[in-house]
Amino acid sequence: MTGISIDVPVDSPVSVAIALGGNLNNPAETFNNALTRLNDHPKITVAARSPWYSSPPMGPPQPDYLNGCALLETSLSPNELLQVLLETETGLGRVREVHWGPRTLDLDLLLYGDRLIESDHLTVPHPGLGDRAFVLQPLTDIAPDWVDPRSHKTIQQLLQTVDCSQIQLAVNQNPPTP
Ligand code: A4P
Ligand code: MG
């Protein structure tokens, strides 16, 4: 971890990668709404979004998931950004019930520049980054050469270590935003 506090806003915008996941209601529409809300924040610009992919659930039996990733530019601190992500989940109908259970929207902070963060409520890179095909496939589409500061491998290299056989390009992509 660098000496910079995870609570202090940064001077110049930092590139961030987030993951979107959901398996209730209409996740494609929810993802688009989430990216619109994030882009409306004065300190966040949505720079890119991946196509959406569907995959069977990891965890307890539940409907298939839709997943995707987005790249943001932000001057928010890691903690401030996490709060915005959690507020966006709640604002779009997320109710926390079962761990790994069904949800309308999950927004995970995958990468924050090249920072390594370990705190009680925030771990970056996200602990599941290296072994989740439903994250690595869409992230490879938009950031193949980003180096994971934990493993020192690129996202594209990490993708080659996971089984992608059950990840499918989703039929419902909805209009690309922004
Ligand atoms: N937190 C710590 N680090 C982070 C981070 N890097 N990004 C803390 C986001 N949050 C982070 O999250 C609980 C707390 O984790 C947050 O309040 C934050 O302080 P949560 O989203 O409320 O809890 P959860 O969703 O029950 O757990 P978690 O670990 O986020 O779930 P996952 O790991 O995201 O898994 N199957 C498929 N195919 N696709 C999926 O997307 N997702 C899940 C959920 C299960 N199965 C899935 C998928
Ligand atoms: Mg989560």
Q: Residues 51-106: pLDDT tens digits?
A: 999 999 998 899 999 999 999 999 999 999 999 999 999 999 877 777 877 889 99
Residues with CB under 5 A from ligand 2 (ion): 106, 108
Ligand 1 within 6 A of 148 CB?
A: no
Residue ranges covered by each domain of the chain:
14-169
Q: Which CATH code is given to the segment(s) 14-169?
A: 3.30.70.560
What are the two backbone dihedrals, phi and then psi, of residue 107, each rounded to the nearest 5 degrees? -115, 115
21-43 pLDDT tens trace: 999 999 999 999 999 999 999 99
Q: What angle do CA 47, 90, 67 make, to 5 degrees?
A: 50
Q: Is 49 a catalytic residue?
A: no
Residue 55 Cα: closest atom of ligand 1 = 38
Token pair for residue 89?
């989940």
What are the two backbone dihedrals, phi and then psi, of residue 110, each rounded to the nearest 5 degrees? -85, -55
Question: What residues pair up with 73 in beta bridges, in sequence order?
Answer: 15, 45
Q: Rounded CA gap, 111 and 22, in Å? A: 20
If 0-12 CB within 10 Å is exposed, 13-18 middle and 19+ buried, where does residue 79 land?
middle
Handedness of CA 91, 71, 103, 31 (dihedral sign): positive
Q: Is 106 a catalytic residue?
A: yes
Token pair for residue 92?
């779009």
pTM over 0.75: yes
106-131 pLDDT tens trace: 999 999 999 999 999 999 999 999 99
Among residues 11, 49, 64, 94, the one annotated as catalytic is 94
